[in-house]
Amino acid sequence: MSTSWIIYTDGGSRGNPGPAAYAYVIKRPGESDIEEKCYLGSTTNNIAEYTGMVKALEHALELGAKAIIVHSDSELMVKQMSGVYRVKSPGLQELYKQAVALRKKFNAVTIKHVYREQNTQADALCNEALDYPCDAGPRIGSVKQEVPPKAAPVEIDAALLTPTMRALALLKRSAAAWAESGDANDPPPAQVLGELVEILEPG
């Protein structure tokens, strides 16, 4: 198993259900780590964990992995994927089926439970996605997936964002618009400044 790729996955929800995200790290022999994170909106811990697993398996397949060892700090998911526990939740069954189908496409797959302190890299990425959801969109892969590449982006509830996060999002949208049009007055800077003041100094 010396040529196996090592994958660390994580998913979490603040509130369960509440703002949720997933992340994973793919470690390939002799290569730099691949890190991915994505904000999911409002959902449960278990859905976030399973989504992270599915996306990590999809990405590893796309990159050409043949044998993988997956580490997760979700004991429930690991035992379900190992056949120890049944998947009873209707909300998890489809994700479980996707994970099982993806697992069959590898030559060898080992799924291990680790404690959170052994999963710090993926855990940190997951928290970054929760703290800065505007910077954590889904990766667009080149393999055939259950969700089409042109699927609508995740809608982020503005009520969950801090004023600073909303202000950063406004600046990014404005900068993208200026770059695309080549017109520094579209949108007008004064308008952008006014919106920033409204965000940062409500009332």
Average pLDDT of the chain is 86
Which token pair is 119?
């999963």
Query: 143 pLDDT band (50/70/90 cuts)?
Result: very low
131, burial (CB in 10 Å: exposed 0-12, middle 13-18, buried 19+):
middle
Dmax over CA atoms of the chain, in Å, equals: 61
In whole angstroms, give the CA distance from residue 53 to residue 158: 27
What pTM was estimated for this model as a whole? Answer: 0.70
CA dihedral angle for residue 153, residue 156, residue 161, residue 165, rounded to 10 degrees: 10
In whole angstroms, give the CA distance from residue 167 to residue 193: 10
pLDDT in tens, 36-87: 999 999 999 999 999 999 999 999 999 999 999 999 999 999 999 999 999 9
Identify which of 23-32, 149-158, 165-174, 177-186 has the greatest average pLDDT. 23-32
140, burial (CB in 10 Å: exposed 0-12, middle 13-18, buried 19+):
exposed
Question: What percent of the chain lies above the pLDDT cut of 70?
Answer: 87
Query: 142 pLDDT band (50/70/90 cuts)?
Result: low
pLDDT in tens, 89-111: 998 999 999 999 999 999 999 99
List beta partners, residue 48. none
The residues near 30 (Cβ < 8 Å, ≥ 6 apart) are none
CA 139 to chain centre: 8
Query: 191 pLDDT band (50/70/90 cuts)?
Result: confident
Q: What pLDDT, on a 0 to 100 scale, did the predictor assign at position 35?
A: 97
Average pLDDT over residues 167-175: 76
- Which DSSP state fits 61? H
Residue 200 has pLDDT above 90, yes or no: no
Query: 154 pLDDT band (50/70/90 cuts)?
Result: very low
Pairing of strands 5-13, 18-27: antiparallel
Q: What pLDDT, on a 0 to 100 scale, did the predictor assign at position 173?
A: 79
Q: What pLDDT, on a 0 to 100 scale, did the predictor assign at position 150?
A: 38
Q: Are 133 and 164 in contact (CB under 8 A)?
A: no
Pairing of strands 67-72, 34-43: unpaired
Q: What pLDDT, on a 0 to 100 scale, did the predictor assign at position 175?
A: 77
Q: What pLDDT, on a 0 to 100 scale, did the predictor assign at position 157?
A: 52
End-to-end CA separation in angstroms for the chain = 61
